[in-house]
Amino acid sequence: MRCSQMVPIATQSSSTNGMIDSAAMTRIEIKPGVIYFPTLLNREEQESLRDEIYVAINAAHLFQSTMPRWGNPMSVKMLNLGSLGWVSDKSGYRYQKRHPVTGEAWPPIFPSLLKLWGRLTNNYAEPEACLINYYSSTAKMGLHQDRDEEDFNAPVVSLSLGDTALFRIGTSERSGPTQSIKLQSGDGLIFDGPARLDFHGIDRVYKETSTLLNEGGRFNLTIRRVTKPVIAAP
Ligand code: MD6
Ligand code: FE
């Protein structure tokens, strides 16, 4: 497993304070438990988040995950933020406290993301992991369930930055019917409740559909609670 090359730090946008706080929030229920927020982040917020991601990547480096068993490389490159990070290699999928290549703890989840999580999840227990996936224009993500967490009561909050992607959502059965939506830069998506274990994936990325990332491609961030929150005694 090798670190991929560094991504250049983009020029800092002048007027941002790093806070994500879009005033208006359009909320579309695609199906029970799947909530779509078109342009959840405005351009300024996207630039600010992009710049925070570049700083994290320059410090901690994207890594190349491999599939369980056969060890073939995934087409996306990854980095995690938080006390736990999702990794995949020949021995399987799991959460771990350290970067698989450098052995360092993951960088912390950005305060702007913690704030957004609080707003979107009605202050559910703090997230422990934010998986950053980087897609080149040819990368894809096969249909999968997010099921390596202990706590399926917690929603998963997803943010897209950069080129538009075709996102497919199915049911909790791998062979169930699917529907597709295009996720654009700044869009948010939540998987919760009845949809928490639905299969989903990225069929394709549409090249050069966004000017946010100089190098093109797409970042997807998924913010997750991994462990069950400790419930205070009555
Ligand atoms: C992606 N998203 O958008 C992949 N998982 O690149 C996911 O795998 C995902 O969007 C759980 C919940 C929402 C998601
Ligand atoms: Fe997922």
Q: From 200, 223, 226, give the residue whose CB has the most ligand 1 atoms within 8 Å, as the site to mutate.
A: 200
Answer yes or no: is the C-beta of 210 below 6 A from any ligand 1 atom.
Answer: no
Q: Which residues have CB under 8 Å from 113's CB, separation 6+?
A: 20, 49, 81, 127, 130, 221, 223
CB-CB contact of 52 with 219 (8 Å): no
Q: From 117, 222, 223, 224, give the residue whose CB has the most ligand 1 atoms within 8 Å, as the site to mutate.
A: 222
Answer yes or no: is the C-beta of 121 below 6 A from any ligand 1 atom.
Answer: no
Identify the residue whose C-alpha is closest to ligand 1 atom 13: 158
Q: From 134, 148, 189, 225, give the residue whose CB has the most ligand 1 atoms within 8 Å, as the site to mutate.
A: 189
CA of 14 to the centre of ligand 1 (A): 30
Question: The whole model's pTM is what?
Answer: 0.90
The Cα–Cα gap between 132 and 221 comes to 5
Answer yes or no: is the C-beta of 161 below 6 A from any ligand 1 atom.
Answer: no
Greatest CA separation found in the chain? 54
Residue 23: the pLDDT is: 59
Q: Which residues have CB under 8 Å from 211's CB, separation 6+?
A: none
CB-CB contact of 190 with 156 (8 Å): yes
Identify the residue whose C-alpha is closest to ligand 1 atom 3: 220
- Domains of the chain, first to last: 21-224 (2.60.120.590)
Q: pLDDT by residue for the chain (234 residues), tens digit each?
A: 333 333 333 333 333 445 566 556 899 999 999 999 999 999 999 999 999 999 999 999 999 989 988 888 999 999 999 999 999 998 899 999 999 999 999 999 999 999 999 999 999 999 999 999 999 999 999 999 999 999 999 999 999 999 999 999 999 999 999 999 999 999 999 999 999 999 999 999 999 999 999 999 999 999 999 999 987 676
Can you tell me whether residue 78 is helix, strand or coil?
Answer: strand
Measured in whole angstroms, how far is the alpha carbon of residue 130 from the centre of its chain? 6
Residue 1: the pLDDT is: 34
Proximal ligand: closest to the CA of 195: 1
CB-CB contact of 190 with 123 (8 Å): no
Proximal ligand: closest to the CA of 220: 1
Q: For residue 103, count other CB atoms closer than 10 A to its CB.
A: 7
Q: For residue 32, count other CB atoms closer than 10 A to its CB.
A: 10
CB-CB contact of 61 with 6 (8 Å): yes
